[in-house]
Structure 1
């Protein structure tokens, strides 16, 4: 977990430079939108900015000391004037925003300052978003809002216009793979994991997880049986896939692993073997690549991406996968 200024500066130097300048010039905005992929440090940056705002003895005037009572309480998630709102189930509801507004109508417990963070702000219901909009239109003095999202396009334009947007950049997969190997992840596995997450801690956890190792085998097996009968593919779904990929996030990861197989096949067909990520399966992938055209592989990738979209739209996972398997077989030249 990234906690210190130095930690985050290595990942997001542009963001940290902006923080530094804004703090030193006393020009912090009243509302920010942190947008970027999962694992790019948005939440850690929110906590860091909160510590900079509340720190009793900031280093050089802008870096939190990490030692005062305010820094420690923010790190422990129990500062009375720092509030975090997260989805209640699938969404952030109007009552949660109203509760936040009521809390902020009171005077700060220990100073005039108050700060709130809304994690996955794109998951606010329309009523919650409209309540927040009123809050942003009439900000309380000394109040700061930090909204975080991986999908800025799903946030109301009227909310976006009232926030200063800060974009969090991802590490390139190559840089990510380098960092992983430096942290003890096998060079054979690092390129694959680097395509799945930009979060070092999460990536290392994947590399040490038996569930993840098994997931790769199940995905490869499913792709292999697609060349046989539809019945065999459906049996593989029931016997292996659904028993392993039970949660929505697990299924999403399974689809990502399936998508990476198709990408590897395309790289092989284009003569770019150096870019494949299933390094342990190169021989099998070369056989798969001979059995489909580039057009067919591209169609398979489109079908998998569409399945991911349907998953996020809460389509029934079993129906989704059955439709995907049939679609992948239709677009295949396997016999």
Structure 2
């Protein structure tokens, strides 16, 4: 069982968000309702839980961090605190009956804490009836109630609800944080490192790790790079026999170019003596040899060739001709 994230853990992931919440607690300016908006996997639910602990903690550290030891903190961690309520979709939407039930529950006095907190996942998925019921609830807040609405698409929430909430935006995660969160999901460190440079969305990253096309694509990209070290004719033949049959759509080719660029970035990290940043650690020895025989200027040119190919790909350039030209550019002088 994985332990809950601490306040400091979440500060590493979303520093600005945690500073805002810290200030709202320490300055006694906790709002009646918040909207946590941002991409999937940016920590909205984890921050919500940590914030709820802070609000209900019996002995907060420095006045705002949950102690993780008191009865309230422990019950929130275990998911059975009577004054914390989480609402999730029932099917494809949040139903009016769910909000009505919440209102009835919150009309009662807090059972164990001074506050009650309710968290609504996918708040943009509320039905019209549910949204109108929630609006009435927000219009008549009680002093001991805090609402946290989480969403990836806040623009789909009623403007009248938005106007009654404090908006807090969650930024995309850094590659380091994406890698850390993926490894917490038991992903292989190298796979986590590669994916963390492909997407800033942890949920998408987890999906990618289970995508056989992506796993096979990595192998093909590495093989193309290795063939490029031999000669352009072999590389052009490899495009015909392996690359084009796997990277068929423009989006797929773009993903392949992203992976190829990572290899050249690894060579750059080696030249800069930053081997700990190398993504393809299983190729480190091989890449070290290659980096010795490639001048910094030529390496920069190679990376620019790939970036230029990505730019042309988004225009009407034929992907097959584009890849053939790229191979010739990368092989020349390497």
Give me the TM-score of the superposition, normalised by structure 1: 0.64
The alignment of Structure 1 onto Structure 2 pairs a total of residues equal to 265
What pairs up with 1:20-39 in 2 under 5 angstroms? 20-39=22-41
Aligned mate of 2:245, from 214, 221, 224: 224
The residue number in structure 2 matching 1:191 is 194
Alpha-carbon contact 2:253-2:319 (below 8 Å) kept: no
* CA deviation vs aligned residue, 1:135-185 (integer Å, no higher than 9, x gap): 111112211000001111111111111100111112234764588799984
Distance 1:160 1:263, change over 3 A: same
CA distance in 1 between partners of 2:181 and 2:82 (Å) = 37
Q: What is the deviation of 1:58?
A: 0.9
The superposition leaves residues 44-79 of structure 1 with CA deviations (integer Å, 9 ceiling, x where unpaired) of 111111111111111111111101110011011100
Deviations 1:180-199 (A, max 9, x none): 79998454762334434544
Residue of 57, 67, 86 corresponding to 2:69: 67
How big is the shift at 1:107? 1.4
Determine if contact 1:120/1:148 at 8 Å carries over to the other structure.
yes
TM, length-normalised to structure 2: 0.65
CA distance in 2, matches of 1:226, 1:18: 44
Would the aligned equivalents of 2:35 and 2:148 in 1 still touch at CA under 8 Å? yes
Whether contact under 8 Å (2:217, 2:256) holds in the other structure is no
Q: Which residue, 142, 160, 171 being the options, matches 1:169? A: 171
1:236-275 superposed matches below 5 A: 259=251, 261-265=253-257, 274=264
Give runs of aligned pairs for residues 1-335 of structure 1, distance below 5 A. 3-173=5-175, 176=178, 185-187=188-190, 190-196=193-199, 198-199=201-202, 211-213=210-212, 216-217=215-216, 224=245, 259=251, 261-265=253-257, 274=264, 297-298=313-314
Q: Flag structure 2 segments of 5+ consecutive residues without an equivalent.
A: 221-241, 267-278, 283-301, 322-334
| Residue aligned with 1:141, SS | coil
SS at match of 1:91: coil
Deviations 1:279-319 (A, max 9, x none): 89xxxxx9xx99xx87883269xxxxxxxxxxxxxxxxxxx
Report SS of the residue matched to 1:45. helix
Q: Secondary structure at the match of 1:70?
A: helix
Residues 181 and 202, structure 2, Cα contact 8 Å, conserved in 1 = no
Cα-to-partner distance string for 1:68-104 (whole Å, 9 max, x where unaligned): 1100110111000110000111111111111111111
Cα distance in 2 for partners of 1:31, 1:173 equals 31
Rg comparison, structure with higher value:
2
Distance in 2 of aligned mates of 1:165 and 1:54: 21
Q: Cα 1:158–1:225, aligned 2, differ >3 Å: closer, same or farther?
A: same
Q: Distance in 2 between matches of 1:222 and 1:95?
A: 53
Which residue in 2 is equivalent to 1:235? none
Q: Is the 1:181–1:187 contact (alpha carbons within 8 Å) kept by the matching residues of 2?
A: no
Tell whether the 8 Å contact from 1:267 to 1:275 is kept in structure 2 after alignment.
no
Alignment CA distance shift 1:57-1:225 (3 Å): closer
Q: What residue ranges of structure 1 are gaps of 5+ in the alignment?
A: 228-254, 281-285, 301-330
